[in-house]
């Protein structure tokens, strides 16, 4: 324990030093990785910024958890080669794998910026690899056309291999080592998140936002089996306005559709993995091979259509963020669509000097159909959180989580399943 406390103290010292050096530096149209990114969705356009020379901002996200969870089930034994596939692995108190991101943002020309994020350590892939990157275009000054310059006051383009902008929930989730904008420890039960080769076009004016995007349907793109692949088309329409200094309201609706794919990855594209290590996994599970513990994957690969509606209300220190999601699709072997629905509500209250302390509660409910299961299954979760921003770049948080499984068949490992307990997390972002 002394060793871990020593490492944590060193990490906080480094974070404080980094905060002094980097806290004021954010490129004009990019997303800040510290507390300033809290409750920020699409970065606002800043077309008054002038370009003088190439600028590079180096940032990072570091996260460590202490897990004290317990799980149980009531599934009937399923013996394969002498091993019960429905017997849960024994878990106890301990530290999870530390995760880390490297963030590179560069202003390469007037109104043109580059973003590249690298996972230095992650649950599913322990080695270093690039998550993705994109080129963001907010000006086309090099065309020297006044009409186009005026149009670009309201228009933005993104191209690259990046986190697609489906829904608003992905702005408030933990992305591997980047966890400072997530008030809770865990992400959603049904977690819509993926990176893909994409192109997005935005119109942003007076609080209104519209976006349309075209992307691939898989994290790892390929040129083989062209007859089995089709583009994913997605879009967003919404309104976001600060009505008074105390009151902000935002409402968006998003849609995603992909009619054919060898394996659509909208709901299993997070290569960082779940924060709840090895919950509801059997005795043969490993941290990397079973990286999505506690999540519900609807297992859609073809004819996928999903919609997400997100209201957000902020009044002084009180915030509410909600999600309604309806998804449908099928596997390649199925002839008709299945469906899944999710309802989530977060209620948080920030208080103290500079609102640097918060308490919050989240309820997450999923009901969905799975291949080979006659009845729809349900999963629900309650998360209660307490957090403290000891600096804009450093967040300490504690979470109590209770997740329960309903309507699974008796021969499924999740039958009568539940996990609950305490999570502690420290995270640095800059």
Using an 8 Å Cβ cutoff, are 40 and 32 in contact?
A: yes
User: What pLDDT shows up at residue 223?
Assistant: 83
For the chain, domains (ranges, CATH) are 2-429 (2.40.160.10)
Residue 250, judged by CB atoms within 10 A of its CB (0-12, 13-18, 19+), counts as buried
307: left (phi over 0), alpha (psi -120 to 50) or beta: beta
The number of C-alpha atoms within 13 Å of 88 and in the hemisphere containing its C-beta is 24
Please give the backbone phi and psi of residue 165, each rounded to the nearest 5 degrees, phi first.
-90, 65
Using an 8 Å Cβ cutoff, are 298 and 306 in contact?
A: no
The span from the CA of 59 to the CA of 101, in Å, is 8
The span from the CA of 232 to the CA of 252, in Å, is 20
42 bridge partner residues: none
Residue segments in the chain with a per-residue pLDDT below the cut of 70: 1-25, 47
Helix (H) or strand (E) holding 42: none
User: What pLDDT shows up at residue 9?
Assistant: 52
Residue with structure tokens 């086309």? Answer: 140
* Residue spans of beta strands (DSSP E) within 187-301: 195-205, 208-215, 232-242, 247-258
User: What pLDDT shows up at residue 51?
Assistant: 81
Q: Which residues contact 154 (CB under 8 A, 6 or more apart)?
A: 45, 203, 204, 205
């Amino acid at each position: 324990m002394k060793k871990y406390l020593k490492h944590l103290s060193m990490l906080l010292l480094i974070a404080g030093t980094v905060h002094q050096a980097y806290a004021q530096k954010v490129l004009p149209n990019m997303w800040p990785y510290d507390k300033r990114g809290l409750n920020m969705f699409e970065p606002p356009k800043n077309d008054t910024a002038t370009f003088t020379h190439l600028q590079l901002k180096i940032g990072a996200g570091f996260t460590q958890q202490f897990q004290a969870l317990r799980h149980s089930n009531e599934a009937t034994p399923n013996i394969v080669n002498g091993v019960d596939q429905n017997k849960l692995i024994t878990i106890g108190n301990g530290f999870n794998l530390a995760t880390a991101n490297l963030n590179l943002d560069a202003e390469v020309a007037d109104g043109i910026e580059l973003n590249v994020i690298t996972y230095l350590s992650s649950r599913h892939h322990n080695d270093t690899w690039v998550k993705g990157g994109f080129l963001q275009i907010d000006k086309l000054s090099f065309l020297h056309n006044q009409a186009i310059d005026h149009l670009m006051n309201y228009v933005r383009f993104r191209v690259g291999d990046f986190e697609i902008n489906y829904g608003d929930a992905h702005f408030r989730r933990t992305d591997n080592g980047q966890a400072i904008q997530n008030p809770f420890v865990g992400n959603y039960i049904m977690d819509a998140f993926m990176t893909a080769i994409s192109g997005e076009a935005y119109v942003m004016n007076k609080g209104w936002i519209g976006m349309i995007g075209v992307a691939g349907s898989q994290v790892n793109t390929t040129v083989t089996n062209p007859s089995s692949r089709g583009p994913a088309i997605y879009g967003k329409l919404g309104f976001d306005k600060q009505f008074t200094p105390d009151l902000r309201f935002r409402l968006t609706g998003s849609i995603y559709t992909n009619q054919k794919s060898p394996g659509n990855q909208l709901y299993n594209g997070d290569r960082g993995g779940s924060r709840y290590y090895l919950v509801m996994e059997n005795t043969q599970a490993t941290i990397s091979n079973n990286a999505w513990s506690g999540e519900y994957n609807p297992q859609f690969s073809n004819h996928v259509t999903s919609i997400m509606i997100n209201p957000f209300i902020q009044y002084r220190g009180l915030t509410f963020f909600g999600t309604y999601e309806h998804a449908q699709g099928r596997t390649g072997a199925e002839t008709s669509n299945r469906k899944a629905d999710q309802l989530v509500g977060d209620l948080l209250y920030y208080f103290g000097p500079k609102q640097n302390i918060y308490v919050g509660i989240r309820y997450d409910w999923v009901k969905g159909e799975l291949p080979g299961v006659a009845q729809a299954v349900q999963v629900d979760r309650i998360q209660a959180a307490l957090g403290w921003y000891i600096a804009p770049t450093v967040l300490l948080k504690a979470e109590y989580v209770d997740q329960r499984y309903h309507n699974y068949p008796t021969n499924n490992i999740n039958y009568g399943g539940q996990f609950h307990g305490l999570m502690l997390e420290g995270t640095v972002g800059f």
